[in-house]
Structure 1
Amino acid sequence: MAQVIKERATRLFKVLSEDKEASRRLLWFVISIAVWSGLMLMPTPEALGIQGQRAVALLAAVCIMFATEAIPLPAIGLLIPVYQVMIGGMSTDLVTGWMMSNALLFLMGTLMLVAALSSRGLDKIIALYILTSVGTSVYAVVFGIVAVSALLAGFMSDAAAALMLAPVLGMISIVRDSHDGPVTNLTKLLIFAVGFGAIVGSPYTPAGGARNVIMIDYMQQLADLDIGFAEWTLYMMPFTIIMVGVLTVLLPVIFPPEVEDLRTAVESLRTEVQERPFGLDQAVILVVFAITIVLWLTIGGQFGIGIIAVGAAAVLLVLGVVEWRNYQSDVDWGVLMIYIGAISLGGYTAETGAATWIANSFLDTVRDLGLGEGNLLVMVISFLITGMTSAMSAGATSSVMGPIVLEIGAQAAIPSIVVGLTTALASSFGFMLIVSTPGNAIIYASGYLSASDFIKAGLWAMLSAFAVFLMMLLFYWPLLT
């Protein structure tokens, strides 16, 4: 028996020594467990209590695991509710109530609707049609790419929006082939238009990212605030509209294009649009999608946007224009597992008082610095969220910080809707690092960009986004609250 254990240990050590990524993940997993153990063994703060201490320990370990992907992210999502029941002492009914929420149904439904669009090629048809309708000037094309990317990102993840604009890479290839000299700046300009357009488009509707859905759910659960699809869009739409214009001007300044007319590339894409078939199935999907948006805007508050979303996905199955295997293969079910845990984590930190304790500790610190009230505190929160979203996913940042910042806002008498919207918006400012958003990773994978390009373009884009956010915070949102 001892010999068998020794052989297996030797084999494991050999694998870890050869696989640097596996070694890195194991190291961070051990660190996360060590942090959890240290927090569990520390004397319990009187204001926190043993239940809250267990929640804080889980929160710290989850932050490390989310940021480093020490174990697969869906596994983290599934283990969170297990911990809450078996170690945290929460009742199963309470935990499952946190998990199966309107937010989760909405996320599930929108992922299925996007899968339906892509299964019939509608994503590329829509993207190509709009891109070929804006003209041949490089500045018009940049505007078209940013606007289309932003438009699509309002109803799917930034990664999905970036993937749908993959034909832009074909445009780059055509331009490169038709010019003798290098077109490096033009290449970077068009690719960043795709990626950054998706980033600025993701906040304008609740369907634009899991971060939005999570904050809607938190505002409902923790602040007793119901915000519908139309109201969210009313608050957030100006940011996307203004940033589309800002990026259209800003990106060509950062990367001055070597070519200013893309007639050849645009004509090639127009031919591809004309060759793509459009039949009854595509028409039915578009009609159902349009009706779904109308229902979200009109009766979403009455019946729940989640119920409407999954109902629309079911209707497409009943009509026979989509098959279940399309949903099985094209929906990232792992994302749902992540947010099952993330949403329940928010309820857990609130229920145990952990969110209140962390919020009070944070407020004491910023008050000592004279930043603990009003819009100054909101700006501090936005900086904190932006910093965290650079280290972990936007959805993970919202799930971890949502309950805490809502409690901070409540303690400081700041409207919950302002704090919630700030958290969702600031968590989308992942411009500067490749790892900040999946969309950034996708455009980096094109092979045309470097890490320094992201810093160069991302710094100015992030500063612009903060400036637009500040204007909305000071002048626009007060008109609505």
Structure 2
Amino acid sequence: MLFGAAMLNLPVPEGLSPEAWIVLTMSVMATILFVTEPIPLPAVALLIILGQVFLLGSASSDVAKTLWNDSVLFILGSLMLAVAVVKQKLDKRIAWIIVRITGTKTTRICFGISVVSGLLASFIGEHTVAAMMLPVGITLVTLTSDDPKKVRNLAAVLLFSIAYGASVAGIGTPSGGARNAIMIGYWREFFYDPSNPETYHFIVDYVRWMAFAYPMFLIQLPFVTLILFLTFKPEYRDLSRAVVKLRAQVENEGPMKAADWVSILLFVLVLIGWIFVSDKVGMGTIAILGATAFLVAGLVRWEDINSGVNWGVVLLY
């Protein structure tokens, strides 16, 4: 803060207006606070808002308008959707589906986990998928051996398959990460002019983003398992024991309930909306609509969303 105060009291460099110098000072201070993190990151966002009012003299109503657009609405809706999806607790069924497809070989299971994590993370964000898939990896590890010392490398391979599979997928779609939606918003704000039809191609919708970004994610995915198996040497090359126990647990839970199918249907409808109508009503509107549908259907409580959503993330963006 002292550094920022010192910058503000320096002579304004030639070629810069006083307002530009204030904005530059605020940017430098925000960067320092983001890197050193002496205060919570959302608090930095609040300081930026206050700086626009008290240092730049902007009207508070004008500043408030800049905080809300379709990209921010999309981030908020996606975070709410993420909580709703995780709440359904389909982790064991997901694990069972994976091993039914891949078989019991460790390499195939790890690749399957990274693929599923990546595919999910490309649509609902890597942090959400990591939280949702973590029980899948832990379930397979604990069912393999009760002694943690005997499955350290196996645990590393399985859990990193989730983390890295989800991480490389973040670029796949606009909903794969808040940064994607923000960049789409900036691209449209800077280059699109509604009065000029020639600038229409600067509108990047859901499908157009996927056409360019999804192949990059798919190319990286096979290397996740390869690198992990070269780095860690799992103690078990076959997880038949864990698969047998997993099957018994899934069978004890019985068939999927109506609520499970409704959850899947709602999520698929949200994806369809993002793909086909986001250019008309906005991706944020569809995300909020999906989150509201989960609430109306009774699949998630507002208390769950209120406690599960990181509201500070919305402030940051």
- The TM-score with structure 2 as length reference comes to 0.88
In structure 2, how many angstroms separate the alpha carbons of the residues matched to 1:186 and 1:47?
60
| Match in the other structure for 1:132 | 99
Q: How far, CA to CA, are the matches of 2:69 and 2:241 in structure 1?
A: 50
Residues 1:250 and 2:227 aligned together: yes
Q: Match for 1:174: what amino acid?
A: L
The amino acid of 2:213's aligned partner reads M
| Alpha carbons 1:132, 1:270 under 8 Å: kept | no
Aligned to 1:261: 238
The one-character-per-residue Cα deviations of 1:304-341 (angstroms, maximum 9, x if unpaired) are 010111112222333333332222122222221222xx
Compared CA separation, residues 34 and 272, structure 1 to 2 (3 A): farther
Q: Distance in 2 between matches of 1:326 and 1:170?
A: 24
Render the CA deviation track for 1:100-156: whole Å, top value 9, x for unaligned: 01011111111111211222223x255323332221111101101211221222233
Equivalent residue for 1:188? 156
> Aligned in 2, Cα 1:172/1:52: closer, same or farther, shift over 3 Å?
same
Residue 119 and residue 178 in structure 1: after superposition, are their counterparts in 2 closer, same or farther (change >3 A)?
closer
Alpha-carbon distance in 2 for matches of 1:250, 1:45: 50
Partner of 1:99 in structure 2? 67
Cα shift readout 1:23-63 (whole Å, capped 9, x = no counterpart): xxxxxxxxxx1221232122212332111111111111111
Structure 2 gap segments, 5+ residues each = 193-201
**Counterpart contact for 2:86–2:131, Cα < 8 Å:** no
Out of 53-62 and 42-51, give the one that drifted further: 42-51
Is 1:63 the equivalent of 2:31? yes
Q: CA deviation at 1:237?
A: 0.6
Residues 418-462 of structure 1 show CA distances to partners (whole Å, capped at 9, x for unaligned) of xxxxxxxxxxxxxxxxxxxxxxxxxxxxxxxxxxxxxxxxxxxxx
Corresponding residue of 2:250? 273
- Give the stretch that moved more between structures: 199-208 or 212-221: 212-221
Distance 1:55 1:323 in 2: 41
Aligned pair 1:74/2:52, yes or no?
Answer: no
Would you say 1:228 and 2:205 are equivalent positions? yes
The aligned residue for residue 121 of structure 2 is 153
Residue of structure 1 in register with 2:199 after alignment: none
Query: In the alignment, residue 268 of structure 2 is paired with which amino acid?
Result: A
Q: How far, CA to CA, are the matches of 2:77 and 2:142 in structure 1?
A: 36
Larger RCO (alpha carbons 8 Å, 6+ apart):
2
Matched, 1:172 2:141: yes
Give identity over the alignment, percent.
32
Change (3 A) 1:163 1:275: farther
Paired amino acid for 2:140: M
Q: Does 1:337 align with 2:315?
A: yes
SS at match of 2:124: coil
Distance 1:202 1:152 in 2: 10
Report Cα offsets for 1:289-309 as digits up to 9, x if no partner. 111111110111111010111
1:113 maps onto 2:81 in alignment = yes
Kept in 1: contact 2:173–2:210 (CA 8 A): yes
Instruction: Choose which of 298, 303, 306 in structure 2 pairs with 1:325.
Output: 303
Count of matched residue pairs: 305
Find the aligned partners of 1:51 and 1:244 in 2 and give their Cα distance. 46
Q: In the alignment, is residue 313 of structure 1 matched against residue 281 of structure 2? A: no
Cα RMSD between the aligned structures?
A: 2.1
Gaps of 5+ in 1: 1-32, 340-481
Amino acid at match of 2:98: L
Q: Distance in 2 between matches of 1:78 and 1:125?
A: 41
> Tell me, what secondary structure is at the counterpart of 1:166?
helix
In the alignment, the residues of structure 2 paired with residue 113 and residue 86 of structure 1 have an alpha-carbon distance, to the nearest angstrom, of 36
Equivalents in 1 of 2:154, 2:293: separation in Å? 43
Distance 2:176 2:93 in 1: 17
C-alpha distance in structure 2 between counterparts of 1:194 and 1:53, whole Å: 45
CA distance in 1, matches of 2:115, 2:176: 14
Which consecutive segments of 4 or more residues in structure 1 shift more than 4 A?
none
1:200 aligns with 2:200: no
TM-score, normalization: structure 1? 0.60
